[in-house]
Chain A
Amino acid sequence: MTMTLETAPTTCLPGFGPEAFEAVLAATRSKAVRARRRAAFESYLALPVPHARMEEYRRTDPARFPFARVEALPLLRAETVPPSGRPEDEEFDVVVDVSESGCAIADRSGALKDGKVTVCGLDEAGESDPETIRALLGGKAQAEPGRKYRDLVDAFWNVGLFVQVGNGIELPQGVLVRYRLRTPGVALLPRLLVDIGRGASATVVESFDGPDGCETLTVASREVYVDAGARCRLISLQEWGDEAVHVAEDWARIHRDATVDLLTMSLGGKLSKVAVGGDVCEPGSHAWMGGLFFGGEDQHFDQRTLQYHSSPDTTSKMLYKGAVSGEAHSVYQGFIQALPGAIRVDAYQTNNNLILSPEARADSIPGLLIDADDLACSHGATIGNLDEDQVFYLRARGLPDAEARKLLVLGFFEEIVERVPYRQVQDRLHKQLERKLALV
């Protein structure tokens, strides 16, 4: 790659210039992965660094992303380890632990033994099955081009995982990927590639956590391919400590009669910007996307969605629920997009927000971009506080005011929480929500 000195500094984020790229390329073994990194790097270079005057970033200033204060971890290699026996792992077939020191894959149920299900490092997968990786890494799921931070991860990722479920295989419990950072000043760039075969079904859960007071930066890129008739659930649970910054982008491509559930829950971190997109690209495909965010103190959450209907006879539903207290600020923005010819489409988009304290702020920007006629696309957005009649009803039945309010907020979020098919994860969510409510 040749480039002039002028272009490099203006479009590169601090620490992610040509030199750093050469280093990460040298550490990558698979040719297929290297080729994709190069293509992503070129696209990354061609895009301007996002700034607060761009429409998408007007409410979430990218200058707050601490690129200048963090250093990227070196490329982490995945290794196989024996299962830990921790009770919280019991609900999963495969558990992957990622930290600054490495990436360990533990096969708890023996699901990986016969080779029909794969969970391995992305570089390793590129070496053993270059054809598949080359085809999947083409970025086909990423319906929206020109996304700076996604291209950054696709070029520079320092931990990559590949999850593949063979045709007709049902993975009963699913895969948990747990990211933990304990060292301040590091940047983690995880890249996850999921491929669910024809008629297969699987759940992948990602969780992120770290201690308070530890400044880290995570920029994640996930890509999911759901083949005909398959079902896939992708859940992400963000519980970083109060100094972490989290940027993530998920894309799913859903084929004929297949279904995807994309569930995003954002609770931790100082600043979080998450974008989720689903391309229902063949008739009969369905995308459900949703999640919750609960901001307290000075937290900032930015949630972006795209329900991308590139094919006729497709459906999508979206539900995001958010609450803000303290001086927190939340931003929801998203679109339903129907391309020309995408007829008989049914799409709905809902965003409900609670503002629980005087200094908090919530912005909601739902949108419709419709280029086809025979369809039904709608959205609804609300912003308000708890319904005082409901509070009164509960108090009339002897509940103290604070308890009544807590119950109503938990009830507000339950619609999302109950979609998580793991008891342990639900319990953790409830605990987190209650902890946040105690501070309101």
Chain B
Amino acid sequence: MAILETDSKLVQEYQHGFTTEIEEDRAPDGLNEDIIRFISAKKQEPEWLLEWRLKAFRWWQKMPEPRWAHLRIDPIDYQAICYYAAPRKRGEAEGEIDPELARTFEKLGIPIEERNALAGVAVDAVFDSVSVATTHRKILEEKGIIFCSISEAVRNHPELVRKYLGTVVPLSDNYFASLNSAVFTDGSFCYIPRGVRCPVELSTYFRINALNTGQFERTLIVAEPGSYVSYLEGCTAPQRDQNQLHAAVVELIALDDAEIKYSTIQNWYAGDKDGKGGIYNFVTKRGLCQGRRSKISWTQVEAGSAITWKYPGCVLAGEGSVGEFYSVAFTNHRMQADTGTKMVHLAPHTRSTIISKGISAGESCNSYRGLVQIAPEAHHSRNHSACDSMLVGDRCSANTFPYIEAENHTSIVEHEATTSKISEEQLFYLRSRGIPESDAASLVVKGFCRDVFKTLPMEFSVEAVKLLELKLEGSIG
């Protein structure tokens, strides 16, 4: 089948692969307690946070790197990474950002300046290790919503950060989460007061620019009773031959009747077609449905990174709480992804839904890995999971590893999964109606992902479809 072969000439160039020449302020490479003190001092952090970081670092030193995922990871030299790199201020007036940086974000289509803003989206942009601007501040302030970088939150709202930081992903949670807890540099903090429905979508845009740096962002979202927030996250990085590490931690907390919708479009640089370079995306994301009838919904479009290791999960601790996970994971060339979700049902009448679509092309390896756990107390709980994989080409692989553990006799868990190649009949049907091969294939793939794309906020949905089309180009047609 000619149309399914990867044509190397047509391979899609990474659009966001440019670098930005800016002076940076960076820590010496390597990791030790002094580096952590350096980061903490740079951020003018209180003593308790430094202690917390050091505790995490000490844990991390004792932990082995996880090896259970279906991934081939070249050894990572943690001492060769720079753990702090910040664009150096050139003495602009307070509140203004480096014009070079502004241009970078403009190229990426990120509206930092409010006049350029897409209506309804408030953006916090993170460049390497620091957060550079947060838009729409005024509207948010009126509602009592706090949306700022985590470093700012540590300075301005220490009591909130201290209360919630590490409560969902403890500092000893796993290897990469511990590393993040020790060295995290920036990320967003979001607090929605009781009963407030956030009027705009909040968004963070992450970009790794500096060479040999890791990005370790930490995002914390707290939704007070009865509140609602939709949060978007996007990521890009320049094209470089070396692998770069991105180990983020995201914690969500939803109290009674609160709802958090978290959407990600991940388009980190994935390496070239021979697998050289690219980002190692080792991320811990977890939401705690602490309140009754609370709801956390994860939507992710994973289209980049050389290696993805990511399992956004929900801990359903509040009675009647709801967890959702919608995912499209696309891999091409030599990319590897081991991604999925964890739904931990702790309370009665909890519900969860998992819809995962995996598309593998080229010589990539795409795995779904998920856990559905029903605790003995979680009576009358319900889970439904559907995981479909599509194979484009005969050199890629697709795997499914669902884990189901049920300890309650009144709960129902259902799981189904399929793996197959793009349907010949559907392609033939479309082609016989005059649609060219490549358009037909892209239409089928978009249809395959529809269940997930329709859960994305509008702006992101458009972006996701565009991104997938770009990524598919060269693989099909």
Contact = CB atoms under 8 A, between A and B. Distances in A.
Q: Do A and B come from one complex?
A: yes
A9 to B, nearest CB: 25
Contacts of B420: 375-377
Interface stretch (A211-219, A266-274, A378-386, A409-417): A378-386
Interface stretch (A87-95, A229-237, A354-362): A354-362
Contact of A376 (B412, B414, B415, B418): B418
A370 B394 CA distance: 10
Contacts of A385: 409-410, 412
Given A357-B409, A369-B399, 4 more contacts: A361-B405, A377-B419, A381-B402, A384-B414
A343 interface: yes
Interface in A374-398: 374-385
Contacts of A369: 397, 399
A158 interface: no
B335 to A, nearest CB: 16
Contacts of A371: 397
Nearest to A361: B407
Given A356-B409, A373-B392, A373-B393, A380 B402 contact: no
Given A343-B394, A358-B376, A368 B406 contact: no
B164 interface: no
Contacts of B394: 340-341, 343, 372-374
B243 interface: no
A370 B397 CA distance: 5
Contacts of B397: 369-371
A425 B122 CA distance: 70
B389 A370 contact: yes
Contact of A378 (B402, B405, B417, B421): B417
A356 B406 CA distance: 12
A382 B418 contact: no
A363 to B, nearest CB: 5
A368 B399 contact: yes
A358 B406 CA distance: 11
Contacts of A370: 389, 391, 397-399, 419
B400 A379 contact: yes
A377 B400 CA distance: 11
Contacts of B403: 363, 365
Interface size class of A (residues with CB under 8 A): 35 or more
A314 interface: no
Contact of A382 (B391, B414, B417, B421): B414
Interface residues of B, number: 36
Interface in A303-359: 340-341, 343, 353, 355-359
Interface in B231-275: none
Contacts of A355: 406, 408-409
A383 B389 contact: no
B108 interface: no
A355 B375 CA distance: 13
Contact of A366 (B393, B402, B412): B402
B250 to A, nearest CB: 27
Given A368-B398, A373-B421, A380 B413 contact: no
B413 A384 contact: yes
28 contacts: A340-B394, A355-B408, A358-B409, A362-B406, A364-B404, A366-B415, A367-B399, A367-B400, A367-B401, A368-B399, A368-B417, A368-B419, A369-B397, A370-B399, A371-B397, A373-B4, A373-B421, A374-B394, A375-B419, A378-B416, A379-B400, A379-B417, A380-B415, A381-B413, A381-B415, A381-B416, A384-B413, A385-B412
B149 interface: no
Contact of B421 (A357, A359, A375, A381): A375
Interface of B: 4, 68, 374, 376, 389, 391-421
A376 B390 CA distance: 10
Contact of B389 (A361, A365, A368, A382): A368
A314 to B, nearest CB: 15
Nearest to B413: A383
B451 to A, nearest CB: 17
Which 5 residue pairs of A and B lie closest in terms of their CB atoms, listed nearest first? A384-B412, A373-B391, A355-B409, A368-B400, A378-B418
Contacts, number: 112
B404 A383 contact: yes
A382 B392 CA distance: 29
Nearest to B403: A365
Main secondary structure on chain A at its contact with chain B? strand
Contacts of A19: none
A114 interface: no
Contacts of B399: 367-370
Contacts of B374: 383
A377 B413 contact: no
B419 A378 contact: yes
A78 B389 CA distance: 51
A372 B421 CA distance: 9
Contacts of A360: 407, 409
A365 B394 CA distance: 26
A353 B406 contact: yes
Contacts of A383: 374, 404, 406, 411-413
A55 interface: yes
A154 B81 CA distance: 50
B428 to A, nearest CB: 15
B24 to A, nearest CB: 43
Interface string A44-55: 000000000001
Contacts of A356: 409
Contacts of A367: 399-402
A353 B409 CA distance: 10
Contacts of B389: 368, 370
A356 B420 CA distance: 35
A383 B403 CA distance: 12
A349 to B, nearest CB: 9
Contacts of B395: 340
Given A369-B399, A382-B413, A383-B413, A377 B404 contact: no
Nearest to A350: B416
A367 B399 CA distance: 7
A377 B394 CA distance: 15
A295 to B, nearest CB: 13
Contacts of A353: 406
A387 B211 CA distance: 59
Nearest to B361: A373
B366 to A, nearest CB: 10
Contacts of B400: 366-368, 379
Contacts of B392: 373
Interface in A73-107: none
A79 to B, nearest CB: 48
Interface in A153-209: none
B329 to A, nearest CB: 15
Nearest to A333: B403
Contacts of B391: 370, 372-373
Nearest to A380: B416
B308 to A, nearest CB: 18
B376 to A, nearest CB: 7
Contact of B408 (A343, A358, A373, A380): A358
A375 B397 CA distance: 12
A411 B68 CA distance: 39
B406 A361 contact: yes
A383 B395 CA distance: 35
B416 A379 contact: yes
A391 B64 CA distance: 51
Contact of B417 (A340, A359, A366): A366
A339 B418 CA distance: 17
Contacts of A374: 394, 421
Contacts of A366: 400, 402, 415, 417
B372 to A, nearest CB: 9
Nearest to B382: A384
A365 B401 contact: yes
A372 B398 CA distance: 9
A364 B415 CA distance: 10
